[in-house]
Amino acid sequence: MTLDQATIDRLAAAPVAPGRLLIGADRVEGQNAPLEVLSPIDGQVLTTLASASAADVNRAVAAARAAFDDGRWSRQPPAARKAVLTRLADLIDRHAPELAVLGVRDNGTEIAMALKAEPGSAAGTFRYYAEALDKVYGQIAPTPEGVLGLIHREPVGVVAAIVPWNFPLMIGAWKLAPALAAGNSVVLKPAETASLSLLRLAELALEAGLPPGVLNVVTGPGRVTGEALALSMDVDVLVFTGSGPTGRRLLEYAARSNLKRVYLELGGKSPNIVFADAPDLAQAAKVAATAIFRNAGQVCVAGSRLLVEASVHDDFVAAVAEATAAMRLGNPLDLTTQIGAVNSLPQLQGNLRFVAEAQAEGATLALGGARALEGTGGYYMQPTILTGVQPDHRLAQAEVFGPVLAVTPFADEAEALRLANGTDFGLAAGVWTSNLSRAHRMVRGIRAGVVHVNTYGGADNTVPLGGVKQSGNGHDKSLHALDKYTDLKTAWIQL
Ligand code: ADP
């Protein structure tokens, strides 16, 4: 999908309608006072967003349950579900410019990437699971003669999905598409600073023929609306992408309520590891810059720790700084912008605190470190590089979720591996080397859900994404994602 600047500007000039809840077929106000949506582009009020109370959330869950129980979706023939999800993918493609611009206006991602990563990715994900849903079979168990053991795969029932603000459509689709493909009903809770494009997607789902009640959307603050959803006694499975502290709370809510299954995709402090024998150090430096700075570092798999072999450290860091300085920071609705806005003011302030703390702990500021474009009223931050970050510094251990790169040198492969594994996280990693044996040793040795070799951040729907350690559990994408949204049932039949 290509888009010209004039079209973007036209779409961005349109007023944004207030966001309402979607419960069954109804777009309704929440019982709590609506929230103001501030645009990170200029700090101005963009629109308002309905704020769902616990009672609103319970009505949405009841609508999802009723839809599941009467089979209006869960018992439709696979071919019928496939047709609806394929139509939805087509509608997302058709409305891609509108969805991308709307999303950027409340979350701040640079538009050139948003087009691909948001509607583009979401359409692909719906298409992938639409295609998959009639190709997943149950099993016949190797039982003794005289007995037939069948293993059925059934939808779980009501799925709650709580998603973050960095890539609402992409991550939303990672949850919605397999959940719906498997026949479940869903209650979706987008982030309060990135709900608008997902509300629009839910409208498109109705237009595509998804029966009302199968997909419900509740918006509002995490500690009110999200909490009520996670405490619901009638949600079977809760899937989440977001921060570690919220993930912990969700597990507590599940324990305090109905022991719903909880799948968490949490943050990372992902090491991007550069050996002196990398095939192309200049290319590695460019990718190291984009691996952390695209979407202003607000990417769960961001390569936020750069580990560099000591013999090439200084030259490599200089090359990364040069590549970074060449990236254009600016209004995310400008097609040439490569680093957009930080999602919110509190997030920006938190990023800046990380920088100050790192310097207080002894790290050296090599680039950036300050707020940018303040005159716009928007939330921008200079891409920031800190060198000499020690493994025990907070910047080496805690996720910033912003445009801040921590650089640490290493002496040899053993130290690189020790540093790579030396955090509580285990989401992603990169390894740059032309030594094939070393590449395989590192892939095996690094505890992470994905290890990129001589690249960073590449992926598509065919491969799973999920974390180990405190980066979470369960997987999005690929056929493995269907495991979260289906139960196995055994039929043991005496013949
Ligand atoms: P971040 O700190 O990056 O905003 P969060 O984990 O707080 O990440 O947010 C991710 C999603 O979790 C958002 O939709 C948010 O509203 C929701 N959320 C935040 N706190 C809670 C909570 N206590 N219970 C349920 N959902 C929550």
> Order of strands, edge to edge, in the sheet holding 271-274?
364-367, 384-387, 404-410, 305-309, 271-274, 428-432, 450-453
Residue ranges of alpha helices (H) inside 368-458 are 394-397, 413-420, 436-445
384-413: average pLDDT: 98
Pairing of strands 428-432, 450-453: parallel
Point out the catalytic residue in the list 265, 309, 399, 413. Answer: 265
DSSP 8-state secondary structure symbol assigned to residue 19: B
- Over the stretch 122-144, which tens digit does the pLDDT of each residue have? 999 999 999 999 999 999 999 99
Predicted local confidence at residue 1, as pLDDT = 63
Find out whether the beta carbon of 224 lies less than 6 Å from any atom of ligand 1. Answer: no
Q: How confident is the model at residue 469 (pLDDT cuts 50, 70, 90)?
A: very high
Q: Would you kindly state where each structural domain of the chain is located, as residue ranges?
A: 5-266+472-494, 271-460
Distance 222 CA to ligand 1 centre (A): 5
Predicted local confidence at residue 328, as pLDDT = 98
Best probe residue, ligand 1, of 246, 351, 399 (max atoms within 8 Å of C-beta)? 246
Distance 220 CA to ligand 1 centre (A): 10
Q: Domain 271-460 sits in which CATH superfamily?
A: Aldehyde Dehydrogenase; Chain A, domain 2 (3.40.309.10)
Find out whether the beta carbon of 175 lies less than 6 Å from any atom of ligand 1. Answer: no
Find out whether the beta carbon of 172 lies less than 6 Å from any atom of ligand 1. Answer: no
Give backbone dihedrals phi and psi of 236, rounded to 5 degrees, phi first.
Answer: -85, -40
- Over the stretch 322-381, which tens digit does the pLDDT of each residue have? 999 999 999 999 999 999 999 999 999 999 999 999 999 999 999 999 999 999 999 999
Find out whether the beta carbon of 242 lies less than 6 Å from any atom of ligand 1. Answer: yes
- Over the stretch 253-278, which tens digit does the pLDDT of each residue have? 999 999 999 999 999 999 999 999 99
CA pair distance 201, 119, nearest whole angstrom: 9
Predicted local confidence at residue 82, as pLDDT = 98
pLDDT for residue 2 is more than 80 = no
- Identify the residue whose C-alpha is closest to ligand 1 atom 16: 222
Give backbone dihedrals phi and psi of 40, rounded to 5 degrees, phi first.
Answer: -70, -10
- Identify the residue whose C-alpha is closest to ligand 1 atom 11: 164
Length of the chain: 495
Find out whether the beta carbon of 247 lies less than 6 Å from any atom of ligand 1. Answer: no
Predicted local confidence at residue 255, as pLDDT = 98
Residue range 5-266+472-494, CATH number = 3.40.605.10
